[in-house]
Structure 1
Amino acid sequence: MNDINRYRELASKWLNGSITEVEKEEFLTWYKAHVDEQINIPPSFAKDERALKQRILSNVQASMQSPYNGKTGKIRALKKKLRAAAAIITLAVLGAGSYYLAIQKTAEVHTSLEDVNPGKNKAFLSLNDGPVIDLQEGGQGLVIGEELHYTDGTILESELFNNVDSESSFVTLSTPRGGEYQLELSDGTRVWLNAASSIRFPRKFNKNKREVELLAGEAFFDVAAYSQDGKKVSFFVKNDEQLVEVLGTQFNINAYDKKLGIVTTVAEGSVSVKSNNKSYRYARMVLAVGMQTIVNEKGVTKYQVDPEPFLAWKEGYFYFNDANIYTVLQAFERWYDIDVNYEIVRSDDLFYGKLPKNVTLDKALYILKTAGVHFELNNGRQLTIKNKESDEK
């Protein structure tokens, strides 16, 4: 069983659902031959592709007590050809050119890079587009009520918010690169803002309408149910491309990539997504749990997805699913507040897996190094991706 191409083929068939039971047994027999003897896979394990990938990740992590543990044999042989620094099974499951992100929080990584700390809770607040208040020392989040206060109960003291009409006042909360923030609106709805994001909302909702505007970036919403005179009041999230309507649910909106479009993913309940371009035949779609829409110049497209990868940022993780190097580094740019330049023309490397967001930049960049990506970090925050050298020895 030394033909890795055969097992890439089986892995691909497993992931697209065309694999037979006989082929599953063939694949798992090969898998068992390439993991520690202590790991036992029950027969039922073959029926759960998601659990298989998680078991594989656990095995890879267990074998990587340190990224420099001197592994030999299969790993070293594959590294020359595929430039991976994980177990052989990783490449079988994900295919050539794909790498599982597996960095232990306790692993010590020694590089020549200057440490760049991960992002943290910080944001900027303004009222009616007026002067800006720096909230970076303001704890975990902000609560919008009769008085503005932080989640720990400390009142936000600012003359900007004194003696103003709550219902006619609009507040803008923005996070910089390297920042994220949490917000509770006047109706009890909670919002998580990712890095380099901005949201505009009324200081106080009126009785018959709840509407906020996602100006840029990404936000997760946990919408509070709200009624007025016995009638449920909808909650709206708008931007230039779409309008989302909900009553009480949890969902994520990602507006980072204008070329891709606005990505809305439902974690709980249901939402209605309506494109602002009336020329589309299917301009409005209803999404239930595990559904997603992408709204762009081509129209509105609906998908069935696993919500976890799209919500991982809120839980403190990067989660990449066959992401190219540009997608990975765009996430790093926002979170570590770095600038990336490319000397490479193109790259076929694909990355899959989770990485904690609380690691420093040198540890995050180690995944690129294990994949054979060459880079330089200058002046602390200027990262240059170099052309790969010829085959490693």
Structure 2
Amino acid sequence: MDEIEKIIIKFLSQEANRTELEKLEDLLKTDKGIRVFNSFVKTQYISTLSMTEFDVNKAKASIKDRLKKDKRLTRINLYKRMAVAASVMLILGITFYLGYYTDQKSGPEVVQQPQTIVAGTEKAILTLGNGDEVVLEKGKKFQTGEVSSNGEELVYTDKRHSKVVEKEQLYNYLTIPRGGQFFIKLSDGTEVWLNSETKLKYPVTFAEGLTRKVELIYGEVYFKVSPSTEHKGAGFHVLTKAQEINVLGTEFNIRAYNNDEVMATTLVEGKIRIKKGEVSEILKPNQQAKISEQSDQIDIQEIDVSQEISWVNGLFAFNEKPLEEILTVLSRWYDTEVVFENAKQKKFVFTGILERTQSVEDILKLIEATSEGQLQFEIQEQTIIIK
């Protein structure tokens, strides 16, 4: 086994040091390097699955190991850039495992009608300052005044030279339905990714020299904020139903859905101050703050941020998550309803990394197979039933 193969193995088990990660990053900058990486991973999976008995517990433990928390920022940045390449291994593993598992034993299968559930895609409803609504979707272009869309993103023109005063500010809303996602570049250059079932309020043009404010009405967003040094020191604030975040040029994720009992703010890079009532805390990279509407307490913990922002990279990352939470995430992306026939099923725990482009049927088959007979899924039109 040559050096690069050893490094790939150490990376997949999250044991690689900084020097090894840098070598692997250089390899993945070329098409040839990516082919070498994918070919090696595929070979390892075929070898593993050629055994007469597939050890599900070992597979689950292996996946869990690859999701170990890494507290070092330099390694997190490298892992972020290689996340999609690494996911190839798991997707291949799922494919080979399901095929092998089905051939070797007559295990449970997802009972389903002809496919009616499709993966989410870029779509949104833009509400303009005059109240007009515009449907944004792939293949449909839109432009008016300072805003344009190619159907996959929304871009606002920078008009800082116009010296707009606060009372003249016009606000737009972007609403992402279930089964949708979208990207906005605000007029100040701030980049925002919006997840399914999300609504954001923001000014068409920020008032020069004044604090830049946006409001997350509900849902989940990832911000890459344009620093205040580029805007005459103007700060950036994000308001939600129960907190205010003072941003100091950074990247972070906010999850605050209407039915969430706890809001979670996760810092990837930079620094933010979170305020709830009279209480305020400063978050450092790789930390998450959780806040309840019923309390002014701000709970902060160290986490693996790569899992929290996996949706921005087109992935689902579940690390020992209960089935109820997993299906809540899936229902938003695939625009489905979920019915549990037995409340105990909600507590079933699953670990895995999956692509958001995968069919919901394939994802359910994997979860069902790893349940060792505890679960059976049935799809009826737009409803997933857990038996």
User: Structure 2-normalised TM-score?
Assistant: 0.69
Q: CA deviation at 1:60?
A: 9.4
Q: What's the counterpart of residue 212 of structure 2?
A: 210
SS at match of 1:104: helix
Q: What's the counterpart of residue 385 of structure 1?
A: 386
SS at match of 1:346: helix
Aligned partners of 1:233 and 1:247 also within 8 Å? no
Instruction: Judge which range, 361-370 or 325-334, deviates more.
Output: 361-370
Aligned partners of 1:129 and 1:172 also within 8 Å? no
Q: CA deviation at 1:321?
A: 1.5
SS at match of 1:383: strand
SS at match of 1:107: helix
Instruction: Judge which range, 193-202 or 361-370, deviates more.
Output: 361-370
Quote the Cα distance in structure 2 between the aligned partners of 1:175 and 1:154: 12
Q: What's the counterpart of residue 227 of structure 2?
A: 225
Quote the Cα distance in structure 2 between the aligned partners of 1:142 and 1:224: 25
Over 3 Å counting, the alpha-carbon distance change for 1:102 and 1:152 in structure 2 is: closer
- Residue 51 (str. 1) matches residue 42 (str. 2): no
Q: What's the counterpart of residue 52 of structure 2?
A: 72
Q: What's the counterpart of residue 284 of structure 2?
A: 288
- Residue 107 (str. 1) matches residue 95 (str. 2): yes
Higher helix share: 2
Q: CA deviation at 1:90?
A: 3.0
Q: What's the counterpart of residue 354 of structure 1?
A: 353
Q: Which has the larger radius of gyration?
A: 1
Q: CA deviation at 1:180?
A: 0.0
Q: CA deviation at 1:172?
A: 0.5
Aligned partners of 2:152 and 2:182 also within 8 Å? no
Q: What's the counterpart of residue 245 of structure 2?
A: 244
Structure 2 residue runs of 5 or longer lacking an equivalent are 17-38, 66-86, 100-109, 156-164
Q: What's the counterpart of residue 4 of structure 1?
A: none
Structure 1 residue runs of 5 or longer lacking an equivalent are 1-38, 53-57, 79-83, 157-164, 387-393
Instruction: Judge which range, 187-196 or 104-113, deviates more.
Output: 104-113
Over 3 Å counting, the alpha-carbon distance change for 1:250 and 1:94 in structure 2 is: closer
Aligned partners of 1:129 and 1:171 also within 8 Å? no
Alignment-mate amino acid for residue 150 of structure 1: S
Q: What's the counterpart of residue 364 of structure 2?
A: 365
Aligned partners of 1:191 and 1:220 also within 8 Å? yes
Q: CA deviation at 1:217?
A: 0.7
Q: What's the counterpart of residue 186 of structure 2?
A: 185
Q: CA deviation at 1:137?
A: 3.3
SS at match of 2:343: coil
Aligned partners of 1:245 and 1:272 also within 8 Å? yes
Task: Report Cα offsets for 1:95-144 as digits up to 9, x if no partner.
Answer: 9xxxx9943299387866433321100000112472321001366x999x
Q: CA deviation at 1:167?
A: 3.9
Quote the Cα distance in structure 1 between the aligned partners of 2:153 and 2:319: 40
Over 3 Å counting, the alpha-carbon distance change for 1:270 and 1:155 in structure 2 is: closer
Aligned partners of 2:139 and 2:151 also within 8 Å? no
- Residue 149 (str. 1) matches residue 148 (str. 2): yes
Alignment-mate amino acid for residue 360 of structure 1: S
Aligned partners of 2:5 and 2:40 also within 8 Å? no
Instruction: Judge which range, 240-249 or 211-220, deviates more.
Output: 240-249
Instruction: Judge which range, 259-268 or 283-292, deviates more.
Output: 259-268
> Paired residue for 1:324, among 322, 325, 328?
322
SS at match of 1:130: coil
Quote the Cα distance in structure 2 between the aligned partners of 1:313 and 1:334: 12
Quote the Cα distance in structure 1 between the aligned partners of 2:40 and 2:326: 23
Paired residue total: 311
Over 3 Å counting, the alpha-carbon distance change for 1:127 and 1:93 in structure 2 is: closer
Q: What's the counterpart of residue 196 of structure 2?
A: 195
Task: Report Cα offsets for 1:295-349 as digits up to 9, x if no partner.
Answer: 1134101111221001100000001111000111111100111111000221342
Q: CA deviation at 1:89?
A: 5.0
Quote the Cα distance in structure 2 between the aligned partners of 1:142 and 1:351: 41
Over 3 Å counting, the alpha-carbon distance change for 1:363 and 1:65 in structure 2 is: farther
Quote the Cα distance in structure 1 between the aligned partners of 2:298 and 2:219: 19
> Paired residue for 1:311, among 306, 309, 321?
309
Q: What's the counterpart of residue 171 of structure 1?
A: 172
User: Structure 1-normalised TM-score?
Assistant: 0.68
